[in-house]
Amino acid sequence: MSQRTLVLLKPDAVRRGLVGEIIGRIERKAGWSIAAMELRTLDRATLEQHYAEHEGRPFYEPLVEFMASGPSVVMVVEGERVIEGIRALAGPTDPIAAAPGSVRGDFGTIVRENLIHASDSEESAQREMKIFFPSFS
């Protein structure tokens, strides 16, 4: 089933020069394509909306500050089972638990700065795409 999902390449991916590597991994997956992509520094209001479900948790404020610390690549990726597939490509949040071959397993260093965000469900993908690409979704 063809789907669309939101993918964010976080400020650490941009700072470390890993954008091309990560996008290349997405593009090499047969049947997936990038439907929309922008480089932008995310403002606090957008981040608060995106991470609203985490408000009040101890990691919320450091996460918002990190995500606003520099440019991110914001993308919509589409293709067969792309939501599940991008999450597998990203690997678990903790880079120590992430398998080699995944983005976080190969390049991750710490949990908070974990290179990539991918929507975790069709519902989340729809909600998140509306935040970052309101006219697209």
Angle separating helix axes 19-28 and 82-90, nearest 10 degrees = 140
pLDDT classification of 30: cutoffs 50, 70, 90: confident
Q: What is the CATH number of the domain that holds 30?
A: 3.30.70.141
How much is the pLDDT for 62?
95
From the list 117, 128, 129, 132, the catalytic residue is 117
pLDDT tens digits for 42-93? 999 999 999 999 999 999 999 999 999 999 999 999 999 999 999 999 999 9
Domain enclosing residue 47, as ranges: 2-132
Query: Does some domain include residue 32?
Result: yes
How much is the pLDDT for 112?
85
Instruction: Report how far apart, in Å, the C-alpha atoms of 85 and of each of 12, 42, 54, 63 are.
Output: 22, 25, 24, 24
Q: Taking a C-beta distance cutoff of 8 angstroms, is the pair 79, 33 a contact? A: yes
Query: Does some domain include residue 127?
Result: yes
pLDDT classification of 137: cutoffs 50, 70, 90: low
Asked if 117 is an active-site residue, the reply is yes
87 is in an annotated binding site: yes
Query: Does some domain include residue 52?
Result: yes
Query: Does some domain include residue 137?
Result: no
Q: How many domains does the chain have?
A: 1
114 is in an annotated binding site: yes
With 0.85 as the threshold, say if the pTM is over it: yes
